[in-house]
Chains A and B, each alone.
Chain A
């Protein structure tokens, strides 16, 4: 079985300060891990993905995430928050070689304080 746990349902940061969104995963096999972002009334957009290559993954809009197998974590970070980063963020897991669907975390709402 596979699952992801997003440790914070809501994160608020000031514009220009670092962002940290936390995600722990559980998977019986080597997983693929993703971070998606959803802006209000929009579909989901992929930020970045990990598929067993480099453990530090760089994504779009300055986001990056580090896969830590020993901690079963895949936290999302950004050095400096921008107002346009305000959105809902989802951590997602999928089996690499299985026939499994995407399993979504419950989401973290990121608020940027001007």
Chain B
């Protein structure tokens, strides 16, 4: 089985722009979660989608949004980019919704976003 894929792998944007990141989960996995990783804040949960519905949300401003499609692929969008949004954005998939699967989440390689 192919693993979790994320596109693009690297992205450079300027302040004020918006960006869309894409995540394709492992085939058959229905839950997709997004995380932000920065040197200062570490790994922080953004949100989780299951069956096209947002089930969980972290403490991020409304500029961060996401969605999930019927094939379980997910996108996250960041509008009005700020310098502090520079980070590695990781996507993870799991078979069932987080908290019910009793299993691990499978992570993609991440998208490295740099905001200039």
Contacts and interface: CB of A to CB of B under 8 A. Distances in A.
Contacts, number: 59
Interface residues of B, number: 26
Pick the most buried of A42, A95, A104: most chain B CB atoms within 10 A of its CB: A104
Given A101-B48, A104-B42, A107-B42, A43 B99 contact: no
B98 A94 contact: yes
B90 interface: yes
Given A32-B102, A101-B98, A102-B33, A90 B56 contact: no
A99 B45 contact: no
Nearest to A106: B42
B99 A104 contact: no
A49 B109 contact: no
Interface residues of A, number: 25
A90 B107 contact: no
A112 B48 CA distance: 35
A28 to B, nearest CB: 14
B45 A90 contact: no
B108 A103 contact: no
Interface in A1-58: 32, 34, 36, 42-46, 49, 51
A101 B33 contact: yes
A41 to B, nearest CB: 8
Interface of B: 4, 33, 35, 42-45, 48, 55-56, 58, 90, 92, 97-100, 102-110
